[in-house]
Amino acid sequence: MGSYSEAVRTAQSYYNSEDADNFYATIWGGEDIHIGLYKSDDEPIADASRRTVERIVGQLKTIGPDSRIIDLGGGYGGSARYMAKQYGAHVVSLNLSEVENERARALNREQGLDNLIEVVDGNFEDVPYEDDSFDIVFSQDAFLHSGNREQVLREIKRLLRPGGELIFTDPMQSDNAEGGQLQPVLDRLQLQSLGSPGFYREKLGALGFDEVGFTELTEYLITHYDRVRRELESRYDRVVGKQISQEYADNMIKGLNHWVRAGKAGDLCWGIMHFRLPPS
């Protein structure tokens, strides 16, 4: 699977842990484990997270049965299953957690979609596919875990065919972040930095991408992390000591509060970024 940066190894160890797997499978919904788009503050996390997938994929006007797509950081494969089920697309779900990938493969089989989805244990800094292999690169809330995001973007350029599309979300620092509330988030993730809209625009532009659009949705980042925190607190006595450890739960609540505070302070940004390579 190639080399792993320290940040990627840290993320791999975290997502492979029993605590993390049980938390994302139970509290977060176990299907689309990403930031949700909420109709109300108390909406089920799984419903809001699925709405995000629908919103992102809805921007891909060329998606269909002939599309070959790679989801970088596919988690439990919910996005891949949605694209395969709704559009008949062929999807590679590349993800660093072998534990999550086993759950994804089981869900694919249960839903009769394993013929359209390939789940790959892999690292988005060194993707095990040939040049010009995909029409669409898709990703949700994963690039922040890279210690070398420029390398991730170079890999995306290499993987895409001429005219191919990149669409992704990523928890980012805002372009004008003062950083006052950002450091606790970085410390919690063991990261030195987050990407920003300006960073992605600059680096992708230098690689020859044209920007299709950026839908800024930061308010949902704040809503989502607060919603997950409240869900964990409401189920604390039922899950702690049975599905997740008390240490993990307490640290998660603390970490989620850091995200909410940083978002309210204006230090974070989140939304849908969409880019396209020129046709040959």
pLDDT digits (tens, 9 = 90+) for 94-149: 999 999 999 999 999 999 999 999 999 999 999 999 999 999 999 999 999 998 99
CA atoms of 126 and 72, how far apart (whole Å): 11
How much is the average pLDDT of 6-29?
Answer: 88
Q: Over the stretch 235-247, which tens digit does the pLDDT of each residue have?
A: 999 999 999 999 9
In this prediction, residue 3 has a pLDDT band, given cuts at 50, 70 and 90, of low
Kindly report the number of other CB atoms within 10 A of residue 20's CB atom: 21
What local confidence, expressed as pLDDT, does residue 227 receive? 97
Over pLDDT 90: what percentage of the chain?
Answer: 87
Mean residue pLDDT of the chain comes to 94
Over range 57-81, report the average pLDDT: 97
Q: Residue with structure tokens 């978002």? A: 263
- Region of 257 (left: φ > 0; alpha: ψ -120 to 50; beta: rest) is alpha
Judge whether residue 1 has pLDDT over 60. no
Please give the average per-residue pLDDT across 45-60, as a whole number.
97
% of the chain exceeding 70 in pLDDT: 99
25 pLDDT more than 50: yes
Structure tokens at 58: 């809805």
Q: Which tops the pLDDT comparison, 218 or 12?
A: 218
**pLDDT of 276 strictly over 50:** yes
